[in-house]
Amino acid sequence: MKVNIVLPLSILLALVLSGCSGGSGDSNSTLDSSENQSPVEINSSSNSPAVTYSTNNILCALSELTFNNDESVNANSSYSWSCNTQNRMLTGNGIPNHEVGTFPNTNNPNTISVQTINENFTNSPGISSETGIAVGGPGGVIAYALNSVKFDPATAGRCDNSGRCSLAGGSGAWNIEALGHDTFDFGDDMNHAHVQPNGAYHYHGIPERFLEKLGKGREMTLVGWAADGFPVYARYAYTDSNDSGSLIKVMNSSWQIKSQGDAGRPATKNSDNQIIPMGAFTQDYEYKEGSGDLDQCNGRVGVTPEFPEGIYYYMVTDTFPYFSRCLKGSF
């Protein structure tokens, strides 16, 4: 099956308009990895997902208060996760607890600042859409990393058919990607992250320094939770999704660059006639089922260290879409 990434304009606008324009010190942290969960339940209600999972008792007591003395931060990073019988709760300030790049910078004039984050996630996630529901931007945050920094992979950058482009909410139908090309520079750092005008530091792809901080190396590493309650892992997973004894490998997306651009796609930038390569726009990609390891929402069902009997999970990958642009569960 081949599916083009062609979304209604209203959804594309929702994905991008709130997007992007343009070392840590001493810590006091507690981590409770809790027990592995046996999570599958069959739900007979016609108004509910056919299969739901339980994430109870998984990382339900996780908190950290760290002063990040990186010159671009110089603030406390604070987050706390807890659970009750129905929900997983996050409170945090969105300040990264790891090294970041220099902000402001030439291509990102914004300063990292404290955010107010209070979010709830279901402890009983279930698949409610086989093809996924587009989310992000004003439609809501798609996921949070464990450190309360949000994942927000889309941007507010746009180009029109003539190649007139703006990285800060320009007009036009062509959505500029933050990663995967050198034509447009959003000032992102080594964590594939940068700062929104409101001071929100956020990830567009794999948060490299955060992954290093978690210290699991080439293992399946849970890095966050999606808005629908499913877990998020980064880069590595089992070769056989149902066998925790199989080799660990880098997960490959099933989104591929099209052989040619869609009708009306600008070939060069209006400002300097620089070529706009395929892959610079969201619309340059199409989903090809089976071409990689993951589904159209960059996820799959399988066993994980935290869920030995299996669960649906999302992956942050090295290639487009980097992080999912859709969710399979209710949120």
Among 87-96, 125-134, 163-172, 182-191, the range scoring the smallest mean pLDDT is: 163-172
Interatomic CA distance for residues 233 and 210, integer angstroms? 12
Task: Decide which of 20 and 247 is more confident.
Answer: 247
pLDDT, tens digit, 9 for 90 and up, residues 194-236:
999 999 999 999 999 999 999 999 999 999 999 999 999 999 9
For residue 19, is pLDDT > 60? no
Give the Å distances, CA to CA, from 269 to 165, 173, 178, 182, 187. Answer: 7, 14, 16, 13, 19
Share of the chain above pLDDT 70, in %: 84
* Mean pLDDT in residue range 278-304: 98
Contacts of 186 (CB under 8 A, 6+ apart): 20, 22, 107, 108, 155, 157, 167, 178, 194
- Nearest-angstrom CA–CA distance, 230 and 126: 8
State if pTM tops 0.95: no
Is the model's pLDDT at 21 over the cut of 60? no
**What pLDDT sits at residue 7?**
41
Closest CA relative to residue 141, chosen from 73, 74, 62, 226: 226
Model confidence at 36: pLDDT above 80: no
Provide the pLDDT for residue 170: 77
**pLDDT tens digit string along 92-146?**
999 999 999 999 999 999 999 999 999 999 999 999 999 999 987 655 799 999 9
- How sure is the predictor about 3, in pLDDT bands with cuts at 50, 70 and 90? very low
Tell me the mean pLDDT in the region 295-317: 98
Confidence of residue 318 (pLDDT cuts 50, 70, 90): very high
- Picking from 40-54, 192-206, 306-320, which range would have the lowest pLDDT averaged per residue? 40-54
In this prediction, residue 56 has a pLDDT band, given cuts at 50, 70 and 90, of very high
